[in-house]
Structure 1
Amino acid sequence: MDSSPTALFDSYEQDFQQILQSIREKLDGEAKDERGEKKKAALRRVEMELDEADEMVSQMEIEIQGIPQSIKSQYQSRIKLAKADLTRYKKVSKDMHSQVSRVDLLGSSRGAASPTSDEPYGSGDRTRLLTGTSILEDGSRRLQESQRIALETEEQGTDILRSLRGQREQIENARDTLRTADTSIGRASGTLKKMIRRMYQQRVVTAGIIVVLVLLIAIILWEKLH
């Protein structure tokens, strides 16, 4: 398993390109050539794959946080290109949805006077269906926006956790340094105490020697005088 800091990013980018290729084929094929329900089904599959591609881009944005600064800029450029491609295909999909809606509206206006066996719904039913479809599409867009916000929040939370982890490591390093310094100070204090004790001992010994010498000198002088 590749453990390089860019391995996951490259994997997500590869998945993104595969999804994008599938979207491109559907938009240039089924969604473009088919009519009616087949065209709508193709566009629904495109919408699902656009959501997947959006998820891949979000994962790439998360993974880029762990890439070294020396190569980070080129990966940021790759994300920008991916976002631009995704935005372009979202616009194409939206335009095709609008075309389908216009065709449905034109069809309903032509058949609004009297329902037929081919068009069993009246204008009121079709209007309600179109309204329901519009509400569903709006809800889907809001869901996608909520998902995007959730991913951005997750990314920000990851950055905060990474920052907190770095600060905790700094605090732990500072604490270890203080402990080492405290230990060194304790050792130095003990050494100084030993040195002071030895100094006092040497003074006592020196004073004793001087006293003994003075006594010896006094005894010698006393003997010589007497």
Structure 2
Amino acid sequence: MSTEEFEKLHEMYRSLYDEVKLTPERAQRCQGEERKRIVRDFDERVSEAEEVLQGMEQELFGAPSSFRTPMSTKIRLYRRDLAKLQREIRLSATPGFSSHIGDGRQGIYANQNDQSTHLQSQRALLIQGTESLNNASKSIERSQWIAAETDQIGTDIIEELGEQREQLDRTRDRLVHTGENLSRSRKIMRAMSRRLVTNKLLLSVIIIMELAILAGVVYLKFFRK
């Protein structure tokens, strides 16, 4: 909505209304052709005012509800004021001694104005209802978009958790293999330790045997004669 354009139309309406609001009194003071001319000018200005009000309604289509609702109410009041002026101009343009036929025509005209005002009010309500439906549709679309986005996020999280589970399973398998390797390493270390002890014992026995042989050779060579 163009706030500037709406304000321009509002100023145009106020200017037209200020111009026509005193017309019933002028028509009451005039007679004959002068009165008819005043009534024709009045009808032209009222038609222009109606067009301006329609333009204001169109400008309200895209307005926020906080601005649209009070201004729609104000436009309905403007239409009521115009209808009231139209009734007054017809009454003031009719002489006091007018026939019952003239009164009947005035009544018909007043009823038509009332019906027009009612239709305009219904139209404004319909516009508001349409706007409310559009806003509700947009709200539903946003909710659906948020739900779809949330579902996608949930799917991504599930996939990520699945990948993390696979990584944990691989890590667990590696730990199991590492434990098995450590168990085999401990067995090899124990076997090597046993072999080392055995080798030490064999070496000790060999050393002792060599010392005994050396001692026997020394004895036979130096002490036995």
TM-score scaled by length of structure 2: 0.59
Matching residue of 1:99: 81
Q: How does 1:145-164 map to 2 (within 5 A)?
A: 145-161=128-144, 163-164=146-147
Q: How does 1:27-46 map to 2 (within 5 A)?
A: 27-33=13-19, 35-46=42-53
Matching residue of 1:10: none
In structure 2, how many angstroms separate the alpha carbons of the residues matched to 1:196 and 1:151? Answer: 67
In structure 1, how many angstroms separate the alpha carbons of the residues matched to 2:84 and 2:56? Answer: 24
**Is the CA contact (8 Å cut-off) linking 1:114 and 1:122 kept in structure 2?**
yes
* CA displacement 1:29-74 (0-9 Å, x = unmatched): 334425224323422332332332341336xxxxxxxxxxxxxxxx
RMSD of Structure 2 on Structure 1 (CA)? 3.9
Q: How does 1:204-219 map to 2 (within 5 A)?
A: 204-213=187-196, 216=199
Amino acid at match of 2:13: L
**Is the CA contact (8 Å cut-off) linking 2:79 and 2:117 kept in structure 1?**
no
In structure 2, how many angstroms separate the alpha carbons of the residues matched to 1:194 and 1:126? Answer: 101
Equivalent of 1:171 in 154, 164, 171:
154
| Count of paired positions | 182
In structure 2, how many angstroms separate the alpha carbons of the residues matched to 1:199 and 1:191? Answer: 12
Matching residue of 1:23: 9
Amino acid at match of 1:160: S
Rg larger for: 2
SS of the aligned residue for 2:62 comes to helix
**Is the CA contact (8 Å cut-off) linking 2:17 and 2:49 kept in structure 1?**
yes
**Is the CA contact (8 Å cut-off) linking 2:76 and 2:121 kept in structure 1?**
no
Q: Structure 1: 5+ residue runs without aligned partners?
A: 1-14, 59-79
Identity rate, percent: 8
Q: How does 1:1-226 map to 2 (within 5 A)?
A: 15-33=1-19, 35-57=42-64, 83=67, 87=70, 90-91=73-74, 93-107=75-89, 110=94, 113-115=100-102, 122-123=105-106, 125-126=108-109, 129-130=112-113, 132-161=115-144, 163-164=146-147, 167-168=150-151, 170-172=153-155, 174-175=157-158, 177-213=160-196, 216=199
Q: Structure 2: 5+ residue runs without aligned partners?
A: 21-41, 210-225
The 10-residue stretch of structure 1 (201-210 or 167-176) with the greater mean CA deviation from structure 2: 167-176
**Cα pair distance change 1:27/1:127, threshold 3 Å:** closer
Per-residue deviation, 1:189: 1.0
The 10-residue stretch of structure 1 (199-208 or 121-130) with the greater mean CA deviation from structure 2: 121-130
SS of the aligned residue for 1:56 comes to coil
In structure 2, how many angstroms separate the alpha carbons of the residues matched to 1:132 and 1:46? Answer: 17
TM-score scaled by length of structure 1: 0.59
